[in-house]
Chain A
Amino acid sequence: MEMIAKKNNLEGAQMLEINFGPQHPSTHGVFRMNVFLEGEKICALKPVMGYLHRNHELIAENLTYAATMAYTDRLDYFNSMANNFGYALAAEKLAGIEVPERAAYIRVIMGELARIVNHVMLIGFLLNDLGAFFTPTLYAFREREKILNLFEEVSGSRMMGNYFRFGGVKRDLTDGNLAAIQRIVSRFPAFLDEFEALLTKNEILCMRCQNVGVLPAALAVNAGITGPVLRASGVNYDIRKVDGYGLYDRFRFQIPVGQKGDVYDRYYVRILEMRESLKILEQALEQIPQGEILNKKTLPVLKMPRNFKPAVGEAYGRIESPKGELGYYLVSDGTPQPWRYHVRAPSLINLTVLEDMCLGQKVADAIIILGSIDIVLGETDR
């Protein structure tokens, strides 16, 4: 209402209302932005969600705990492994299940591979938004396919892995799989160097991305922004370090932090994060022990999904997913189905500051700002 009043009061210039989406290639799905423009400057932006809403939470409340695992794949369909990880963590916290060491290592390996897939694709799509039409994306696709082939070998599906189980993982990694991961890890830096040689100091990329969509650190923390977007603003907060869930406290790795919090920092933090992920993978491959992949004590319970009845209580499990803090809130009433199941989706909450970042910028910048936040609509809308 306020906007319309302002629109009519404007002298000399006319305010233009543009509707991006839900069918627009730059919105990465079915996201809609209501943009108000003065000339080419953005003076208001309202996000509209819900086009992919399927009430994931209600579906899960009507299923057994174990059955929901396959549904979590569909949240952030770019990295199903990370979604599985978070859900398994929350359910294990609720029921007090321990994870054998080998399984924990496999989880870390899968989580980090998923992070690499996510970041490399994000950079590809971001460049697409910048106008580098599909060449970087196809370079990224080529590398991603190597990792997805491995996911397929291990879990049976390229993208919808459904690989994690409460108390372990579905299937063991063979020596062949480990060798394949080793090959990916040893060859990936060369690709990253090539990618960076083309992009990082590229004049066009620098001019388009630097000082665009700046997010101050104080606002980022207050608005609950997490993941690479938060770290690009200069806040050193990574749940892998803070909580040390899984086995992350055993590995040596740095947390890359940006300085300004503009689109360029968000791009570069992700490149650096991939390099850190490779370090974690190398250490994990070196240390991974032989042993069980599923907790034997809880196996009888896990084999029959309706026997899995956690005691009355609640748990909040959170992980550092490639997009930010992915949290699962579970409330058990002692039956095989959760009483309440909630997903704290980073893709949704990171959109809180979209308007703040876009104000005063050009329309073309709004698209790369949205691209640099990295949303997936399966998770935003749930």
Chain B
Amino acid sequence: MKLPIETVQKELEARMPDVKLRKVRDSLLIENALDLRRVAAFLKESPEFRLDYLSSVTGADYLAYLESVYHFYSVEKKQGPVVLRVRVPKTEPKIPSLAPVYRSAELQEREAYDMFGIIFEGHPDLRRLFMWESFEGYPLRKDYEQEDTEILEAADIAWLDAHRIAVPNEMKEKARELQAAGKRAVAQRPEKPRPA
């Protein structure tokens, strides 16, 4: 059963007049990220909506800001989806975590943190999910630069030498140049990121 987003917006505006909402396509944008948990808790408990099931949590990079998107459904009333979104600047990407309200956010918020670097405040165990602990950067951000697997860096050459593995001289020279310039071996990007 579809749940019109206008109904949800009207109800929220009546019950929580201090929360600023804006309709974006078929979803509600919560202008102040700090209101998110309050709104989610209300939607979960309200007898009219009973959005007890948080299906999907994910991030997105829109160059100027990062966004977190939430898809809610109701198992009890078999209705939904209600889509909420929150936008935060890239310099301070902090969003209150929904994990205390919905357990299903636990792993999904960790994934969004891993891929976009969105910090979910109040999450019980915010670590990287797929990448290893010492990994630098956030792979799904549009400005992420991938490492070039064709080029070896000085540290790689040292390791290979220590293990007595022969390395072509060209690669050694390239590594020395990179080290002298203080650069990382980064794959060339095909083009500039597309505008949103």
Contact = CB atoms under 8 A, between A and B. Distances in A.
A58 B140 contact: yes
Contacts of B152: none
Contacts of A325: 55
Given A313-B25, A349-B107, A342 B75 contact: no
Given A49-B129, A351-B107, A224 B195 contact: no
Contacts of B54: 224
Contact of B130 (A53, A313, A329, A339): A53
B140 A57 contact: yes
Interface string A320-340: 000001010101010101011
Interface of A: 49-50, 53, 55, 57-58, 61, 219, 221-225, 235, 237, 242, 313-314, 316, 318, 325, 327, 329, 331, 333, 335, 337, 339-340, 342, 344, 348-349, 351-353, 381-382
Nearest to B60: A340
B71 A327 contact: yes
Given A57-B140, A316-B71, A344-B55, A352 B106 contact: yes
B102 interface: yes
24 contacts: A49-B129, A50-B128, A50-B132, A53-B131, A58-B139, A219-B103, A221-B53, A222-B52, A223-B106, A224-B102, A242-B78, A316-B81, A318-B55, A327-B71, A329-B56, A331-B60, A335-B194, A340-B58, A340-B60, A342-B56, A344-B58, A344-B71, A348-B107, A348-B111
Given A333-B194, A344-B56, A237 B75 contact: yes
Nearest to A353: B103
A224 B196 contact: no
Nearest to B101: A222
Interface residues of B, number: 35
A48 to B, nearest CB: 9
Nearest to A328: B56
A337 B53 CA distance: 31
A127 to B, nearest CB: 28
| Consensus secondary structure, chain A interface | mixed
Interface of B: 1, 25, 52-56, 58, 60-61, 69, 71, 75, 78, 81, 83, 102-108, 111, 115, 128-132, 139-140, 194-196
Nearest to A348: B107
B55 A224 contact: yes
Contacts of B106: 223, 352
B56 A316 contact: yes
Contacts of A335: 194
Given A316-B71, A349-B104, A49 B140 contact: no
Contacts of A237: 75, 78
A258 to B, nearest CB: 15
A95 to B, nearest CB: 15
Contacts of A348: 107-108, 111
A329 B71 CA distance: 10
A237 B61 CA distance: 33
Contact of B75 (A221, A333, A351, A382): A221
A342 B71 CA distance: 12
Given A224-B105, A316-B71, 16 more contacts: A50-B132, A55-B140, A221-B75, A222-B52, A237-B78, A242-B1, A313-B25, A314-B25, A316-B81, A318-B55, A333-B196, A339-B194, A340-B60, A340-B61, A349-B108, A352-B104
A327 B130 contact: no
Contacts of B130: 49-50, 53, 381-382
B55 A327 contact: yes
Contacts of A222: 52-53, 102-104
Contacts of B75: 221, 235, 237
Contacts of B108: 348-349
A223 B71 contact: no
A342 B103 CA distance: 20
A41 B130 CA distance: 28
